[in-house]
Amino acid sequence: MKKSSKYLSTGVAMLVAAAMLFALVGTVSAKPIKIRFSHVVSPNTPKGQAADMFAKLANERLAGKVEVQVFPNSQLYTDGKVLDALSTGSVEMAAPSTSKFTSWVPQLQLFDLPFLFKNSEVLYQTMDGKVGQKMFKMLGKKNMLGLALWDNGFKQLSDNKHEIRTPSDLAGLKYRIMSSKVLEAQFKAVGANPLVMPFSEVYSALEQGVIDGQENTWSNIYSKKFYEVQKYITGTDHGYLGYLVVTNAQFWNHLPKDVRTELEAILKEVTAWIRINALKINMEQKALIVASGVTTVTDLTEAEKDAFREAFKPVHAEFRDVVGGDLIDAVYELNAKN
Ligand code: LMR
């Protein structure tokens, strides 16, 4: 073979090899980006349904580019562990309640302050306004990026000892709480004993009498069957439960721009959906608890709620410096206007 044609065939072979390598790398990088979304509640709750809707829309609209998989019921991580998992890249998305972030961002305990929001309108204006934006900025720690605030609703009390009608009825009772100092202070203010516990352990702790009661939304009480192991549920609406949808900042910022833009648009859509539907889901599931007949449901009158407002009021002053007087005053101002 002539020298020149030998060089030519070597060159062709190299080109073919390069093309094959390129095709291989191309195939590898064309694999859909996996997004694991971990949460702790049942799929039939506001958050569970919203997470599934996010996955469905993302998998439809970004087919081949993204694959979202939802892991409900603490299947992957409990709330105490998911934020670490997010920071190390073991999971890409989560939506813990705001109370679960409070050891990193104590200001988020704003949402835990009892009877802070006069109504849902004030709550939404708070989330959508300056306060919400400040909260998102504070999430920079732990490489977290806040994507949305999802609604659940107002919390009720359940217990196994006796019917609750006045603040003094809580005295001496052991209540499970999420990991928030405000929630601890709230129960201590009425002489109850708060105990921090992951959501996944609450049912058996109630069943075995490790705790007497807990506070949660109607939907969580229904979907986790807490009502089956609680003799009394009291409709107090004394505190708020909502979620911060979070991701790993590095992961999110490295997504292809078109993918990120579409995912953010889908999140907006789902956030609007949950805001319209969360209360409806809670009310439907409350009705199912009442209809079950296995527990006594008592709705407090406004006058009875006022007694709880008074009893819990010192907690606002106690946490003014921790949460930030400016944030608390911003909500008070909205309460006055609404
Ligand atoms: C709880 O721990 O009670 C809630 O945060 C569970 C949830 O995610 O709604």
CB-ligand 1 contact for 74 (6 Å cutoff): no
Higher pLDDT, 92 or 23: 92
What's the gap in Å between 6 CA and the centre of ligand 1?
Answer: 71
Quick one: tokens of 130? Answer: 């300056």
Cα distances from 173 to residues 190, 195, 215, 280, 287, in angstroms, run 10, 11, 12, 31, 26
* Helix, strand and coil percent figures for the chain, each rounded to 5: 55, 20, 25
Stretch 153-177: mean pLDDT, rounded?
98
Q: Residue 96 CA: which ligand 1 atom is closest?
A: 8
Question: Coil, strand, or helix at residue 295?
Answer: coil
What's the gap in Å between 40 CA and the centre of ligand 1?
Answer: 7
DSSP-derived secondary structure for 54-104: HHHHHHHHTTTTEEEEEE-TTSS--HHHHHHHHHHTS-SEE--BGGGGTTT
* Mean pLDDT score of the chain: 92
Q: What is the pLDDT of residues 170-204, one digit of tens each?
A: 999 999 999 999 999 999 999 999 999 999 999 99
Q: What is the pLDDT of residues 245-288, one digit of tens each?
A: 999 999 999 999 999 999 999 999 999 999 999 999 999 999 99
Q: Is the pLDDT of residue 161 over 90?
A: yes
CB-ligand 1 contact for 216 (6 Å cutoff): yes
Reported as type and span, the H/E element at residue 270 is: helix 257-292
Q: What is the pLDDT of residues 205-254, one digit of tens each?
A: 999 999 999 999 999 999 999 999 999 999 999 999 999 999 999 999 99
pTM for the full predicted model: 0.90
> How far does CA 6 lie from the centroid of its chain?
66
Quick one: tokens of 242? Answer: 């909502």
Provide, rounded to the nearest whole percent, the portion of the chain with pLDDT above 70. 91
Query: Alpha-carbon distance 214 to 176, whole Å?
Result: 5
Q: Residue 216 CA: which ligand 1 atom is closest?
A: 3
